[in-house]
Each structure stands twice: as C-alpha cells, then as structure tokens.
Structure 1
Amino acid sequence: MTDLSFIKPECLWELGGTLLEGACWDAAASVLWFVDIKKKHIHGFNPATGARDTWNTPDQPGFVLPRASGGLVVGMPFGLYHFAPETGSFTRLTSVEADRVGNRLNDGFTDATGRVWFGSMDDGEKADSGAFYHWTGGDPVRVLDGICITNGPATSPDGKILYHTDTLGQTLYAADIQADGSIANRRVFAKIGKDEGYPDGMAVDAEGCVWTGLFFGWGIRRYAPDGTLLGFVRFPVSSITKLAFGGPDLKTVYATTANKGLSAQQLAEQPLAGGLFTFQSPVAGLPPAKVRA
C-alpha cells in the first residue's frame, strides 16, 4: 500500500455545488475548469491569481474540455458545444443521442492524441440507457452501450488502455483501444464493496496508476495498473466526483465534490460538501491534452 493517509485535502472554493464534476487542468492557461451539472454552471479557477469565474449554461453540462483551436468543448444533453469564455456563447459542434430523450452527457476526457472520450447516462439514474463514445470531429462514435451511469473515462500513459466506470454497478473496467478507436477485451479492473461508495470520475498518474473519486465513499482511491488497491485519500465530505492533476509539476490534485443526495443533517455535518478541493500528490499526473477537433 502507498501511504496516502497523511494527505489532508483542503477546500479551495466553497461553492456549495449540487453536483460539481469534470475537473480538467488547462496547462496553457493555468486554469482548472469544472462544472456544476445541476446548477448549470461552468467554473474556472486560476490558482496563480486566485481568479474565480462562473458562467451559466443553457442546459446541464457534463464536462468541459480545453480546445486546441481556442475555447472549450462542453458536453450537454443532445450535443457537444463550443464554448467561448470571453463572450459566454455556445455553438453546437455535433448532435449526440437526440433519440434518447431521458439522457444527458456525463463525464469526459481528452486523450494524448486529442480525441475526446465521453459517456451518457439516464438523468433519472434508473434506465441502462447510457453509452460511451469517442469524438474526433464529425459524428461521435459509440463504442459501448447499456450502462445507467457512465463515468470516469481515462487512458493509460501509453494510450493503449481505456478505463471507464459503471457507477451503479460499482465497477471500474479496462479495455484495449484498437487502431480505429474501437475497444476490445473489456474486463473488470476493480470492484468497489457494497458499502464503500460508488466509483465516479478518475485520472491516471505518471506511474500508470488509476485514481478514482468515490460518491458516498469519503475519498479517492489509488489503484496499481493491475487493479491492486494502493492507497486512499480521505476527505471531510462524502462525495468526490472527479479529480485532475495540475500545477507546474502536475502534482497538485484538484477534486470536485457534491452535496446531491445529502439530508439536512448530513449537510450540516458536511458544510464543505459541493466545494472544490486540493491536495499535493507524491506522484505527478499525466500531461493534459487539448481537444484537436
């Protein structure tokens, strides 16, 4: 086990967010981007200047990813959109799941080639209507179907393995990425115990280890490339939704959290729930990429 028990995450921004998600480090701008799905917000935090910016979105944003040509790509119900922070404007790039009216987009990730991986889910969190896609421009390509809550796309350092999460199934999966972007040999990477929380967003570090936030699980787990549990970072709030490695050395971890589903008593006991947190990792993350399309 890697000793991570000494780490004490600190709250950077007390947002009281309902469902913060999509933490994504923009190295060029030195900005941490993330969303509040239920409040329909995009947030940007600059740790160097302390600047905190918030924009309203026309629908529930599942993720936000920096784009090589400028601006950001935002996943919202039924489409991927270009977002221009300087004007606050949204322009549709492509349609997604126009036929699945109860769905919304959830977590997303840009791999080292600039390809976007993202998932959809049943907004009511009941039907197995969610799917996984990749996108490099044009129409998104569906690579997996039949999951209720999709989460956590990330890739191994060599770009050959896709990791993703079936949140309600409490299972993390690994699959081999083929030359055409399809996936093969999908297998169980790790299982979360019945009373240990629900795996949410993830990130991979420079050693190839997988870090995953736990909804109702009070922290973040770190797994070895073979799926062995290596360590746990405990948080003062119960639901951690996504993490990103950032900062000049990629050792600053930023983590989004949520207060969704908490009772009045639980909210009183977790006053920082729904905030943006940070801690220093002993291991660096992988360099973030920008969307090439």
Structure 2
Amino acid sequence: MAVINARHALSIGAELGEGPLWLDGDLWFVDIKGRRIYHYTPATGALAQWEAPEYVGWVLPSNVGDLIVGLQSGPHRFAPGTGAFTCIASIDPALPANRLNDAATDLSGRVYFGTMDNRESAATGHVYVLDQGAVTQTAIEPCVITNGPAITPDGACLYHVDTLARRVTRHAIAPDGRVGAAEPFLHFTGDEGHPDGAICDAEGGVWIAFYGGWAARRYDAAGQMTDIVRFPVANVTKIAIGGADRHTAFATTARQGLSAEALAQQPLAGDVFTFPVAVPAASLTAANT
C-alpha cells in the first residue's frame, strides 16, 4: 500500500472547499459556504474568483462551452466571462433547507447530483439525474448528506456516499441512465472520519476524501485500500486528478466546524493541497445540457 504526504498548493482558507475539477490545464473548485467559485492556473499561479448568489456545490463543463454549477436551488449555467448564472431547473423548492452538494457526469454527459439538508439533520437528500435539461430523481435511498456520486470509467456503475451513515454503495447504470439497486461496497466503523467526496480514476479505483479523517484513500473495485494520503488538516473534502503530467491530484479542504483551538493547530485548513498519484484520471465528459 502506498502512503503519501500531501503538500500545500494554494492558500484559500475556504469555509467549505469542495468540488475540485481539472479542466484544460486549470483547476476549478468552490467554497460552498463562502459562495465562491475559483479558477486556479498552477502553471502561472493566477487565481480568479466569482461570487455565487447562493451556496454553490460543484462546477462541471457543458457541451456548449460554458459551465454547469450546482447552486442551492438547482443546477445553473454559469458564464465566467460575464459572471452570469441562468437557472436550468429548480430542485426541492418545498425544502428550503436543502442544497445541492456534489456531482459527476457519465459517458453520455448525464449529470448525477445529490442534495442534502444544510442543517445536517433530516434525511431529505436525494440523488438526481440532469439529462438535456430534464431532471429526474433516482431510486437511491434518501439520506442526510449525499456525496459522490462517482462514475466508473466504463460508465457502468455509480458509487454513492452516505456520509453520516459512513457507507458507500455501488449501483449499476442502465443504458437509459436509470440507477439500479444498492450493492454494499464500503462501510467505515473505525477512526477513518466520515467519507466525503469521491471520484473514480482511469482504472476504476475509487478515491474518497475523509472529513475529520486527516486523509484521502483509494480503494480498488474489490474494496481493498491501495493508497492513503495524509494531510496536515482534518477536513478533506474531495480530490481531482490532473496536472500537466496527468498524475497530479489536488484536494480541497474545509475550516467549517473547527474550534479556535483546532484552527490554531491547523492554520492551513480550508486550503488546497496536492500529491502524486500512480493512475491518471478517468476521461471527463461534458454535460449534455
């Protein structure tokens, strides 16, 4: 098993850094609670940012050249050139405490995304599919905090993370995008922390960030841990794989929930970190919205 130490890459101090995305040589990510979208170019150190009108959970490329972002009320188009947001669909209008949390695209460009109770108490989180402007709810069991989803490189399976239950399930994806029944994959009962964002790499390995776990871990398709990355901060939220060599990972982290004493011990909490990986990222398909 590979044991790696993450190194500091970018000072942000995000309250809840999330949703890293490697796209065309740059890193996109968000601060959910800070309502910020960031665009970072590692080659030059350039950093741009935009204020979002609501909590913003994720950023994905679209097939028409703009971006799709998960605002609290639903998926929106986002034009970086103007900073404009355009609503695609409203999600959970009867649940004002809910927000969008994490997302991924499959090989057909469908966007699978989850919602959650922002108060982290009610099991009102569901997983939805956005396909060419239409949104449908999947049959995945509701939970308090949805995370992932992560899509296998062949597009055949989706990994769903139930953060508070500390459980990861695997679901077959039908040709029409429907998600099948849950198959047990991982269940954590020790001191690993809570499983947070997840992605699949080009070999189908599953990278999971651990909130309160000081680490990110990679598991093979059989559920065996192959890599562990140690961080100097507790709340690791999600990773993206990219870099000029295609073998560089970037991880977002969070300051949310840390006491003044913990923040003094973790001055880099909320920043972006990086580490090398043996397996490159799976191919990224733009959203077909």
Normalised by the length of structure 1, the TM-score is 0.95
Gaps of 5+ in 2: none
Aligned to 2:5: 8
1:148-207 Cα shifts (integer Å, max 9, x gaps): 000011111211010110000001111101122111131121112243200000111122
Q: How many Å apart are 1:145 and its aligned residue?
A: 4.1
* Corresponding position: 1:68 with 2:71: no
Normalised by the length of structure 2, the TM-score is 0.96
* Corresponding position: 1:198 with 2:194: yes
The ranges of structure 1 where at least 4 consecutive aligned residues each deviate by more than 4 angstroms after the TM superposition are none
Equivalents in 2 of 1:206, 1:146: separation in Å?
29
Q: What does 1:34-53 correspond to in 2, within 5 Å?
A: 34-53=29-48
What CA RMSD, in Å, does the superposition of the two structures yield over aligned residues? 1.2
Aligned to 2:256: 260
SS of structure 2 residue aligned to 1:282: coil
* Corresponding position: 1:241 with 2:237: yes
Q: How many Å apart are 1:77 and its aligned residue?
A: 1.8
Q: How many Å apart are 1:135 and its aligned residue?
A: 0.8
Q: What does 1:270-285 correspond to in 2, within 5 Å?
A: 270-285=266-281
SS of structure 2 residue aligned to 1:73: strand
SS of structure 1 residue aligned to 2:264: helix
Equivalents in 1 of 2:277, 2:203: separation in Å?
12
Equivalents in 1 of 2:39, 2:285: separation in Å?
17
Equivalents in 2 of 1:248, 1:290: separation in Å?
20
1:102-153 Cα shifts (integer Å, max 9, x gaps): 1000011122221111000001000000000111123311102421000011
Q: How many Å apart are 1:24 and its aligned residue?
A: 0.9
Aligned to 1:288: 284
What is the percentage of aligned positions where both structures have the same residue? 43
Report the CA distance shift for 1:249/1:68 in structure 2 as closer, same or farther (over 3 A).
farther
Q: 2:14 aligns with which of 9, 13, 17?
A: 17
Equivalents in 1 of 2:150, 2:246: separation in Å?
16
Equivalents in 2 of 1:32, 1:103: separation in Å?
27
Aligned to 2:75: 80
Aligned to 2:97: 102
Q: How many Å apart are 1:47 and its aligned residue?
A: 1.4
My pick for the range that moved more, 15-24 or 242-251, is 242-251
My pick for the range that moved more, 110-119 or 270-279, is 110-119
Q: What does 1:149-228 correspond to in 2, within 5 Å?
A: 149-228=145-224
